[in-house]
Chain A
Amino acid sequence: MTVAVQKTPTPQRTGNEEPPTPARRAPTVSRSMIVAAILVVWLVLFAVLRGKQTLSLAAADLTDLHRWFNDVNDSIGANRNSNPLFLYFFNEIRLVIDTLVTFVQELISQPTAGRPVPQIGWLGVVGIVGYVSWAVGNWRVALLAVAGFTFLGLQGLWQESMDTLALTLSAVFVALLFALPLGVWAGLSDRFNRVVTPFLDFMQTMPTFVYLAPLTLFFLIGPASATIATAIYAAPPAIRITAHAIRSVPETTVEAADSMGATRRQALLKVLLPMSKRTVVMGVNQTIMAALAMVTIAALINAPGLGATVVQALQSLDVGTAFNAGLAIVVMAIVLDRVTTAASVRADTARGSDSPLLKWRRQLVVAGGVAAAVLVYLSHTYLWAAEFPGEGGTGSTIAKAATDVTTWAQDNLSGLTNAFRDVLTNGLLNPFQTLLTDSPWWLVGAALVALGTVLGGWRAGATSAVCVGLLIGTGVWSDAMTTLASTAVATVLVMLLGVVLGVWMGRSALVDRLLRPSLDAAQVMPPFVYLVPFLALFGATRFTAIVAAIVYAAPVAIKIIADGVRAVPGTTVEAAMSTGCNTWQIITKVQLPMSRGALTLATNQGLIYVLSMVVVGGLVGAGALGYDVVAGFSQGQLYGKGLAAGLAIVLLGVMFDRITQAAARRAGA
């Protein structure tokens, strides 16, 4: 559900680690000894106190807090037609956004008044996409974009894709309208940055299921709610990355501008913004990716498009159709990603180069614009250019192939996968979960705070204490501990994969080129698509949820670690080789220790990504917080409990984020 949030900043963060000096080894060892001691004490007390004060709560039971949330929800629903806040505020927002989405939809996806087709047909859209990609990027991405969009038509999903595109564009537009100014502000003011960061964390970790139902309460069913849900989810990366971009403009440049007498406004408009343009475009890129990731979730409140196809196919367990639509989302994401990336690079390179074509650029741009306009006119006027020709045969071929592969895997692998599941569940997950859920709450809480303090310092310890306290307050402590166990196991597996594949990719450019597209696809493919095959392979169990989380979270960890390994200076590696180290020694003694910062960051991101899949896990047998959230979305009387469970997920996320980040700073310092 979340898409690579930290993609751009990572190289900077991981690039400048220094080799650990022997002097610093001593405290590391003693720290791991303290950790071991804490664990031993915990185990001993667990053996004595097992099953007492576990704060468990049955599936249908509620606490006072949950009932209070329910009451608030009900009173909003009952008073929405008389409350001035609704009449003059929410309804107005809704009207504006509805108008925006409907306008874009009538332009490219939905028939408009009196016309059986939208204003711009497929040929026009492909023409515009190709032209814009070329104008902001280069001819190679333009070719990719044209091919990609044509492929969507061949899949038989043209209209669905355009609905998705319309919703994505509107949501990104709304998100950027707020995100860019806020990002600039956060980049200029440290205080505002500190204030806004917790809100951004909250927006990104709060499961979208939790706010879908309230959103329909505020903004009614329809495109406005779907757009706002998507915008809320997609805005944080743009805010963060814009702030980061403003901050990373070299101080000397700003000082130079100051010394020349530039006002604050001039410095911002003429120096800071132009110099951070490239990174800001990357922020836009991340926002688009996040918006596309919301497409399937928003389909649950009647957002039209590819998400609806995926969700409907899932009801009849039609893997092929779901995969076909999921693939369309991936293709659209790849096109939009490559085009915006090319645009961000162009911002830098265009100025310096003087290729012969550049002279002609202005003329070419105008000519291209005319050509695109002609295509738009044709697609507005003629049916053959408005409706995508053909029956979408490619789509049904893809759907059939996906079904065949899935059936084969289910028939031939399920014995193997079930054995694997049982070994890991019984050997690792169950004991760990028992330890967390059957220990008294105060023991687990104390252990978490102690571990936080040892690993991340006093500040992280204090944060853990607050989070533990609030977790108890949510009333879903026991479920939170069950979720914590699965999350921890998933993260361990993510890191194993991350280290193996990350090191491999970091050491070989060829492997990197081969693996990266699949990693991108794994991140963008809606999880709903692969749930059915996983259910067949692993059953409705916690383990299925863990596997789904790994598919989603491992790519981030792998990419970060690969970057970290690549950033190890070549001279250091050569020096190690000259002293006679073999490959294994170079990896374990040089490259991994030197990318320790990247490893901790990968753990951090891996954990956050795994947590964002908790709700999806609830759909396939993971129970606990994920189930609570889904139940809150489905049943009125469980609404409050679902909200509390959502908050618990956020608290777990904040706790781990603070601990791992503090630990990363220590490792890097």
Chain B
Amino acid sequence: MARHWRAGAAGLAVLGLTLTACGGAKVGDDSAAGSGSSGKCGTFNLAINPWVGYEANAAVLAYVAEHDLGCKVEQKDLKEEIAWQGFGTGEVDAVVENWGHDDLKKKYITDQKTAVEAGLTGNKGLIGWYVPPWLAKAHPDITDWKNLNKYASKFKTSESGGKGQLLDGDPSYVTNDEALVKNLKLDFKVVYAGSETALIQAYRNAEKNKQWVIGYFYEPQWFLSEVPLKKVSLPEYKEGCDADAEKVACDYPVYELDKIVSAKFAKSGSPAYDLVKNFTWTNEDQNTVAKYIAVDKMAPEAAAKKWVEANRDKVDAWIK
């Protein structure tokens, strides 16, 4: 018995040696690996909030930080609230597309002092009510809120209890829609789709099958390059008309999207901080990258590379 076992072991050893001999490239042969990230930048912890527009900002910033500044970029998939939590603990350095969130600003910038603002992204955030293009074309007057009641019955669904349905999306969105419906005396009911995915799918179906859908949406958004939704005009926004959440009866303000970084990161002297601070671009820029990611299904890094190579001048202005 023992002889068999010895023979087996010897056989295996021979096999092992043969395999080793025919080898191939050894781990560590290519010493270039890993040396790219040895700049003075160190680690840059970038939060990734879950929507594609944000991902576009983050992808480009990460690409530039990695390739031009030699940072080691840690991308962390987090919802907004949790990302802000991370400022205080050093787990997150930057949030690079922030929509309003005055409550979070108060909590983390004013009260806890763990975060600071790092300027605008240059993107203009539009929030509002949108209809699919076929509907705006068939009934041009629908893009004025005053005519919505005329069509309310067309928007009825199994969920809206006999009224027209106004579809809202993800719970983290900034929304006054329930108050708006009430204060503008619209014969509509707000139905919560619960996620951006559900909202986009609803619009996609509506355009394809000529269904009646009206709901909450926002720009910049990659989906608009697939289906160019039409915005419905609400009573014009004036400074302070949304001060009392119960009595809102006006459109949403134009949001100047901005960047938030942790207080520690701002003082660290890292070149990544200067990059985040100097970073600005336009809605078109973001939509281009977002389209590469969402529609053309490119990896975020490849999408960022493509855009950066085509827009070297803009990038150079950020890192000058």
Q: Which A residues lie at the B interface, using CB under 8 A?
A: 58-60, 74, 77-78, 80-81, 111, 114-117, 213, 216-217, 220-222, 299-302, 308, 311-312, 314-318, 321, 360, 363, 366-367, 370-371, 374, 377-378, 380-384, 386, 410, 414, 421-422, 425-426, 430, 531-532, 535-536, 539-543, 617-623, 626-627, 630-631, 633-638
**Are A381 and B80 in contact, with the CB atoms below 8 A?**
no
A630 to B197, CA, bound (A): 14
Q: How far is the CB of A419 from chain B (nearest CB, A)?
A: 11
Q: Would you give the shortest CB distance from B284 to chain A, in whole angstroms?
A: 19
CB of A384 within 8 A of CB of B78, answer no
Segment among B137-145, B198-206, B312-320 that sits at the interface with chain A:
B198-206
C-alpha gap A58/B189 in the complex (Å): 12
When distances are taken between beta carbons in the complex, the residues of chain A under 8 Å from B200 are: 317
- Digitize B82-102: 1 where CB-to-A-CB distance is under 8 Å, 0 elsewhere: 100110110110000000000
Q: Are A316 and B52 in contact (CB under 8 A)?
A: yes
Inter-chain contacts of B178 with A (CB < 8 A):
58-60
With A and B bound together, what is the CA distance between A382 and B194 in angstroms? 48
Residue B68 at the chain A interface, CB threshold 8 Å: no
Is B149 among interface residues, defined by CB-CB distance under 8 A? no
Q: How far is the CB of A41 from chain B (nearest CB, A)?
A: 26
Shortest CB distance B72–A (Å): 11
Contact string against A for B residues 253-281, beta-carbon threshold 8 Å, 1 for contact and 0 otherwise: 00000000000000000000000000000
A315 adjacent to B51 (CB under 8 Å)? yes
Q: Which residues of A contact B79 (CB under 8 A)?
A: 300, 633-634
Tell whether B222 is near chain A: CB-to-CB under 8 Å: yes
Separation of A213 and B19 alpha carbons in the complex (Å): 50
B77 at interface, CB cutoff 8 A: yes
Cross-chain contact of B8 among A222, A367, A618 (Cβ < 8 A) = A367
The 3 closest A-B pairs by CB, nearest first: A631-B171, A634-B172, A316-B294
Tell me whether B192 and A623 are in contact (CB under 8 A). yes
State which of A301, A410, A531 has its C-beta within 8 Å of the C-beta of B78.
A301
29 pairs from A and B in contact (CB 8 Å cutoff): A80-B88, A116-B27, A216-B82, A221-B76, A221-B89, A221-B91, A299-B77, A302-B77, A317-B201, A317-B204, A318-B297, A366-B9, A367-B9, A374-B19, A382-B23, A535-B198, A539-B202, A617-B194, A618-B194, A619-B197, A620-B198, A622-B194, A627-B192, A630-B171, A630-B194, A630-B195, A634-B80, A635-B81, A636-B81
8 additional A-B pairs beyond A220-B91, A317-B197, A621-B159, beta carbons within 8 Å, are A116-B30, A213-B82, A216-B86, A217-B85, A300-B79, A540-B191, A541-B158, A619-B197
Partner of A363, one of B5, B20, B104: B5
Is B77 a contact of A377 with CB atoms below 8 Å?
no
* Nearest A-chain residue to B79, judged by Cβ: A634
Residues of B within 8 A of A308 (CB): 77
Min C-beta distance of B80 to chain A, whole Å: 7
**CB closest residue in chain A, given B15:** A374
B78, B167, B192: most-surrounded residue (chain A CB, <10 A): B192
A425 to B172, CA, bound (A): 28
User: 8 Å CB contacts to A: which residues of B290-310?
Assistant: 293-295, 297
* Beta-carbon contact of A531 and B197 below 8 Å: yes
Q: Does A77 contact B85, Cβ atoms closer than 8 Å?
A: yes
Chain A interface helix/strand/loop/mixed: helix
User: In whole Å, how far is A549's beta carbon from the nearest beta carbon of chain B?
Assistant: 14
The answer on a CB contact under 8 Å between A371 and B12 is yes
A321, A382, A633: the one contacting B24 at CB < 8 Å is A382
How near does chain A come to B167, taking the closest CB pair, in angstroms?
7
Closest beta carbon of chain A to B104's beta carbon, Å: 7
Within the assembled complex, what's the spacing in Å between the Cα atoms of A634 and B170?
Answer: 9
**B288 within 8 Å of A by Cβ?**
no
Q: Report how many A-B pairs have Cβ atoms within 8 Å.
A: 205
Q: Are A115 and B28 interface neighbours, CB within 8 A?
A: yes
Contact indicator per residue, chain B 59-80, by CB within 8 Å of chain A (1) or not (0): 0000000000000000011111
Q: Which of A80, A312, A532, A627 contacts B201 (CB 8 A)?
A: A532
> With A217-B85, A221-B92 given, is the CB distance from A117 to B27 under 8 Å?
yes
Considering only CB atoms, which chain A residue lies closest to B82 in the complex? A216
Per the bound structure, the CA–CA distance linking A382 and B86 in Å amounts to 39
Kindly state whether residue B1 has any CB partner on chain A within 8 Å.
Answer: yes
CB of B107 within 8 Å of the partner chain: yes
CB nearest to B92 among chain A residues: A221
CA distance A623 to B86 in the complex (A): 29
List A contacts of B92 (CB < 8 A). 221
Which chain A residues border B157 with CB–CB below 8 Å?
Answer: 539, 541
Q: How far is the CB of B30 from chain A (nearest CB, A)?
A: 8
Interface residues in B1-50 by Cβ distance below 8 A to A read: 1, 4-5, 8-9, 12-13, 15-16, 19-20, 23-30, 33-34, 50
Interface residues of B in 144-160 (CB under 8 A from A): 157-159
A220–B86 touching, CB < 8 Å: yes
Contact residues in B for A532 (Cβ distance below 8 Å): 197, 201
In Å, the complex CA distance between A384 and B30 comes to 13
Docked Cα-Cα span, A622 to B228, in Å, equals 27
Pair B209/A378 contact, Cβ less than 8 Å = no
Neighbouring A residues of B24 by C-beta, 8 Å: 382-384
A221 to B81, alpha carbons, bound, how many Å?
12
Instruction: Flag if A422 contacts B158 (CB, 8 Å).
Output: yes
Set of chain B residues within 8 Å of A78, measured between Cβ atoms: 111-112
Give the shortest distance, in Å, between B176 (CB) and chain A (any CB): 9
B103 at the interface (CB under 8 A from A): yes
Does B196 interact with chain A (Cβ within 8 Å)? yes
Residue B193 is within 8 A (CB to CB) of chain A in the complex: yes
Partner of A302, one of B20, B76, B193, B196: B76
Contact A430 B158 (CB under 8 A): yes
Tell whether, in the assembled complex, residue A543 and residue B198 are in contact, meaning their CB atoms are under 8 Å apart.
Answer: no
Task: Tell me the complex Cα distance, A377–B12, Å.
Answer: 13
On chain A, the residues within 8 Å of B294 by CB distance are 315-316, 318
Question: Which B residues lie within 8 Å of A422 (CB)?
Answer: 158
Complex: how many Å from CA A627 to CA B194? 6
Q: How far is the CA of A630 from the CA of B81 in the complex (A)?
A: 12
Residue pair A386, B197 in contact (C-beta under 8 Å): no
Query: What is the distance, in angstroms, from A386's C-beta to the closest C-beta of chain B?
Result: 6
